[in-house]
Amino acid sequence: MSEAVAATEAEKPARKQQQRSLVTQHKLLDAATEAFSENGFKGTSTRDIAERAGVHHPLITYHFKNKDQLWRAATDRIFREFNISLVKAMAEVSEADPRARAEAFVRTYVRYAYQRPALHKIILQESSKPSDRLDWLVENHLRPLFDEVVKSLKVLQEMGIAPAGNPALLFNMIRVSAGGLLALSLEIKGTSDIDFDDEGELDKLADMIIRVFFPSSAGD
Amino acid sequence: MSEAVAATEAEKPARKQQQRSLVTQHKLLDAATEAFSENGFKGTSTRDIAERAGVHHPLITYHFKNKDQLWRAATDRIFREFNISLVKAMAEVSEADPRARAEAFVRTYVRYAYQRPALHKIILQESSKPSDRLDWLVENHLRPLFDEVVKSLKVLQEMGIAPAGNPALLFNMIRVSAGGLLALSLEIKGTSDIDFDDEGELDKLADMIIRVFFPSSAGD
DNA sequence: GCTTAATCCTTCCGATCTGGACAAATTCAT
DNA sequence: ATGAATTTGTCCAGATCGGAAGGATTAAGC
């Protein structure tokens, strides 16, 4: 953990954090996010991360203590940003009816999953076997979000908008149809000739999700 | 590749393959499948595989030449078995109507994804970034299967059984709802209190997939 | 059966990479 | 300009990969 971060919970630092330090941390977090999402925790070396960031590798120890803490910092940032994005988007449609809100949720989710594929790739990477990191991820980021969303989904089910059944199961189907598919975009380009970089392709995915999971709506 | 395998495509071997050699290869393939599915290609060491198999590591060089060939052999085996399983299951319902066949497909797919989580985990691992392995996987196993299934799905769409839209996109949603969800089972246990090891939970997933993707059927 | 040669396994080695530690050098806020 | 914050260069002990070389096992032919 960097001194600056530590300072927020300890006594005041004698000196203010330097600008270049923030830049270095930012570069390391970006590089770490990318590397971990591609090769997983075990498959990623701190040297690789440092190289991607264009920085000498001992700086990881200096700023983040070790590989594990760097993973946590990188994951924490990307999930925080995701949550903020989601909350903001939902606030914008707070006046709309439940179905419109559900549609807005799906479209936001799809768009974000496309913009930051690392987010879902990291989930997939870490879910492949038990680990403290997975527990931490579930506890701090996934569970809070899921509980919230599943509650709303339950309402939609009671209104007959969403199909019946375990709402948690339903939500998981929806989110892998969005996030999972986009995390697999490379493979899907090869198997199905679908390129989500193409104009409109992303909307087609969102449309399909809405049509399938919230039927009786024409879905565009 | 082992001498025995090479022999099938070269001139006859002077000697027959020994039994223990087959056992060793089998143990290595099992261990490799498990290790690669958990830690990805880069995150897995040949030492780790050998240790899981209870075998000295130079045997990997002897039987499979190197890590890459071992990955190919392991992946090839698991995908072949999957295809056989699928073909056999579909042959058993060859007389049934299209909807019943679709249901059978989903149930088989779900059951297999549960039994061999490594299959989908390996897909997820390899799709995280471009590689020769991903190309090989797409070309040799994914693409042939997908082309076949998407054709059938198109028919279902024309009959009004499956929702409209790009059939390839639809199929991808279905298969991640099955395989993706089961590959994520560890995470889902933590976030959603759904344990696919519990009796009946697997059927609930299959039911939900059928209900959502092939509506107008009660789905049970 | 007994030999013998192909097949299979084990013990080793060298080069590289791993996460992390440390002190010396540099940069910058005060 | 002073000293803390940051960066750099270097080192370590252990793990990694691929492979060489020789020993053990076993099928095939006598």
Q: What is the pLDDT of residues B141-156, one digit of tens each?
A: 999 999 999 999 999 9
Question: Is 1.10.10.60 the CATH number for A1-70?
Answer: yes
**CB-CB under 8 Å, A215 with B138:** no
Closest CB from A137, A169, A194 relative to B205: A169
Rg (alpha carbons) of chain A, rounded to whole number? 20
DSSP string, B54-118: TS-THHHHHHHSSHHHHHHHHHHHHHHHHHHHHHHHHHHTTTS-HHHHHHHHHHHHHHHHHH-HH
- The distance of B20 to chain A (nearest Cα, Å) reads 31
H-state helical runs in B93-213:
98-115, 117-126, 132-137, 143-158, 167-175, 181-183, 185-192, 201-213
Task: Give per-residue pLDDT as tens, B88-113.
Answer: 999 999 999 999 999 999 999 999 99
Output the six-digit token pair for B214: 């092939």
Phi-psi region of A190 (alpha: psi -120 to 50; beta: other; left: phi over 0): alpha
- Residue B15 has a pLDDT of 57
Nearest to A119 by CA among A142, A102, A148: A142
Domain B1-73 belongs to what architecture? Orthogonal Bundle (1.10)
| Model pTM score | 0.89
- Residue A17 has a pLDDT of 59
Find which of B147, B169, B185 to mutate to test the A interface (most A CBs within 10 Å of its CB). B169
CB neighbourhood size of B148 (10 A): 14
Residue B214, pLDDT above cutoff 60: yes
DSSP letter, residue A93: T
H-state helical runs in chain A:
3-7, 19-39, 46-53, 58-64, 67-92, 98-115, 117-126, 132-137, 143-158, 167-175, 181-183, 185-192, 201-213
Residue A67, pLDDT above cutoff 70: yes
**CB-CB under 8 Å, B183 with A172:** no
Closest CB from A142, A164, A212 relative to B191: A142
Residue B164, pLDDT above cutoff 90: yes
DSSP letter, residue B14: S
Q: Using a 7 Å CB cutoff, list residues 49-108 of A near strand D.
A: 55-59, 62-63
CATH 1.10.10.60 intervals, chain A: 1-70
Q: Are B37 and B125 in contact (CB under 8 A)?
A: yes
List bases, strand D, within 7 Å of protein CB.
4-10, 15-21, 25-28
- The distance of A1 to chain B (nearest Cα, Å) reads 25
- The distance of A51 to chain B (nearest Cα, Å) reads 17
> Which residue has 């297999």 as its token pair?
B112
**CB-CB under 8 Å, B181 with A173:** yes
Please give the Cα distance from A194 to B216 (Å, whole number): 28
Closest CB from B190, B191, B208 relative to A170: B208
Task: Give per-residue pLDDT as tens, B170-211.
Answer: 999 999 999 999 999 999 999 999 999 999 999 999 999 999
Task: Give per-residue pLDDT as tens, A119-146.
Answer: 999 999 999 999 999 999 999 999 999 9
The residues near B21 (Cβ < 8 Å, ≥ 6 apart) are B2, B4, B63
Nearest to A45 by CA among A63, A65, A30, A60: A60
Q: Are B63 and B24 in contact (CB under 8 A)?
A: yes
Residues of B in contact with A212 (CB under 8 A): 163, 170, 173, 212-213
List bases, strand C, within 7 Å of protein CB.
5-12, 17-23, 27-30
CB-hemisphere CA count at 13 Å for B179?
22
Cα first-last separation, chain A: 48
Q: Are B130 and A186 in contact (CB under 8 A)?
A: yes
Residues of B in contact with A43 (CB under 8 A): 39-44
Q: What backbone torsions phi and psi does residue B54 show, to the nearest 5 degrees?
A: 70, 45
CATH 1.10.357.10 intervals, chain B: 96-220
> Which residue has 């839209």 as its token pair?
B165
CATH 1.10.10.60 intervals, chain B: 1-73
- Residue B22 has a pLDDT of 84
Q: Are A116 and A78 in contact (CB under 8 A)?
A: yes
Instruction: Return the biggest CA–CA distance within chain B.
Output: 62
- Residue B62 has a pLDDT of 87
Pick the CATH number of A96-220 from 1.10.357.10, 1.25.50.10, 2.60.120.10, 1.10.443.10: 1.10.357.10
Task: Give per-residue pLDDT as tens, A6-30.
Answer: 333 333 344 555 677 888 899 999 9
Q: What 3-state DSSP class applies to A158? A: helix
Judge whether residue A175 contacts strand D, using its CB and a 7 Å cut-off. Answer: no
Rg (alpha carbons) of chain B, rounded to whole number? 20
The residues near A142 (Cβ < 8 Å, ≥ 6 apart) are A123, B187, B190, B191
